[in-house]
Amino acid sequence: MSQLHVRGLRKAYDGREVVAGVDFELRAGECFGLLGPNGAGKTTTLRLCLGLTEPDAGEITMMGHAVPRHAREARARIGVVPQVDNLDPDFTVRENLFMYGRYFGFSKKIIAPRIPELLDFAGLTGREHSRIQTLSGGMKRRLTLARALVNDPDLIFLDEPTTGLDPQARHLIWERLHRLLSDGKTIVLTTHFMDEAERLCHRLAILDQGRVISEGAPRQLIERHIEPQVVEVYGEGAQAWARQSYRHAQRCERSGETIFCYALDADPIVHELKRHPELRYLHRPANLEDVFLKLTGRELRD
């Protein structure tokens, strides 16, 4: 059984279609990523899946329940880590976990034995009586993740789980998500960090202007959309150099002072660059960010 099945999903606000016909299906035990620039419709898609907003059209089936009609039943088997931390500031760490379990209808007897393992998962053992205000950003995120596990969900939604965290905190969150996947949980996450998506996701859907513009495994997307080699050339002379050496690359893009050369074989480009010691360059394999920028463009999205 598919844990989440979305077909023809549409939602407009003030006549602007934020979600404009989205389809996807989750496989049990996978990590599925929704990628997209700001305003692409990622968060709205999640809200629709959770039954928090009524779609204009389309069908959602989650954990075998039609959403939004039976969203309450579906949410009983779901964990959610929202984009903005909404831990309860009036409660301690322990009380946050405890009260959240109560919202699922669990008795004290059921929740109490779960709390030590949740604290352990969050790396907050010994902090159970701390006030939320005294936790670091990383601790709050981990607690929010632990809170989402209070009902031992089959499917976990994470909306930008590592935005605003330092590298150490991000790595710790990733490690925990890997642990959840190895426990057989299914994960849906939104992100605009390509390294995060590449590292965690088995499959991705790239969203832009409310549509899925490409879908597949990270490696597949790279192979499908982009030349395998990239040379980034920096510096004032980069543009002039690019005009001459354009022919060696399949494709060149400029972003500010930087030239991105995409090529099947980068050797001739690198060879050329060796004769221009004034230019700095970086030769690397293509990655998801290149795909993302190619598909969604380089302009700012606000």
Instruction: Give Cβ neighbours of residue 21 (< 8 Å, ≥ 6 apart).
Output: 8, 9, 10, 58, 210, 211
Is residue 40 within 8 A of residue 209, CB to CB? The reply is yes
By beta-carbon proximity to other proteins, the closer residue of 106 and 234 is 106
- 137 part of the interface to other proteins, by CB under 8 A: no
Stretch that binds other proteins, among 98-106, 184-192, 208-216, 247-255 (CB under 8 A): 98-106
Query: Binder to other proteins among 103, 240, 244, 271 (CB under 8 A)?
Result: 103
In this chain, which stretch among 84-92, 172-180, 191-199, 259-267 interacts with other proteins, using CB under 8 A? 84-92
Nearest residue (CB) to other proteins, 156 versus 222: 156
Q: Which stretch binds other proteins (CB under 8 A): 27-35, 96-104, 168-176, 186-194?
A: 96-104
Residue 163 CB, nearest distance to other proteins (Å)?
A: 16
Distances in Å between the Cα of 182 and the Cα atoms of 15, 95, 141, 150, 153 are 43, 28, 20, 18, 14
Q: Does 75 bind other proteins (CB under 8 A)?
A: yes
User: Is residue 89 a contact point for other proteins (CB under 8 A)?
Assistant: yes
CB of 76 to other proteins, least distance (A): 4
Name the residue nearer to other proteins (CB basis): 130 or 287.
Answer: 130
Q: Is 57 in the site for other proteins (CB under 8 A)?
A: no
**Closer by beta carbon to other proteins, 135 or else 238:** 135
DSSP string, the chain: --SEEEEEEEEEETTEEEEEEEEEEPPTT-EEEEE-STTSSHHHHHHHHTTSS--SEEEEEETTEEETTTHHHHHTTEEEE-SS----TTSBHHHHHHHHHHHTT--HHHHHHHHHHHHHHTT-TT-TT-BGGGS-HHHHHHHHHHHHTTT--SEEEEESTTTT--HHHHHHHHHHHHHHHHTT-EEEEEES-HHHHHHH-SEEEEEETTEEEEEE-HHHHHHHHS-SEEEEEESTTHHHHHHHHGGGSSEEEEETTEEEEEES--HHHHHHHHT-TTSEEEEEE--HHHHHHHHH-SS---
Amino acid at 217: A
**Does residue 131 interact with other proteins by CB under 8 A?**
no
Question: Binding to other proteins by residue 58, rule CB under 8 A?
Answer: no
In the set 80, 135, 173, 242, which binds other proteins (CB under 8 A)?
Answer: 80
Q: How far is the CB of 144 from other proteins (least distance, A)?
A: 9
- Options 15-23, 88-96, 168-176, 293-301: segment touching other proteins (CB under 8 A): 88-96
Q: Is 246 in the site for other proteins (CB under 8 A)?
A: no
The least CB distance from residue 133 to other proteins, in Å, is: 11
Applying CB under 8 A, does 174 fall inside the site for other proteins? no
Site residues for other proteins, window 262-301 (CB under 8 A)? none
**What is the C-alpha to C-alpha distance for residues 106 and 115, in angstroms, rounded to an integer?**
13
> Which of residues 31, 87, 124, 145 is near other proteins by CB under 8 A?
87
Binding site for other proteins (CB under 8 A): 50, 52-54, 72-73, 75-76, 78, 80, 82, 84, 86-91, 95, 99-100, 102-105, 148, 151
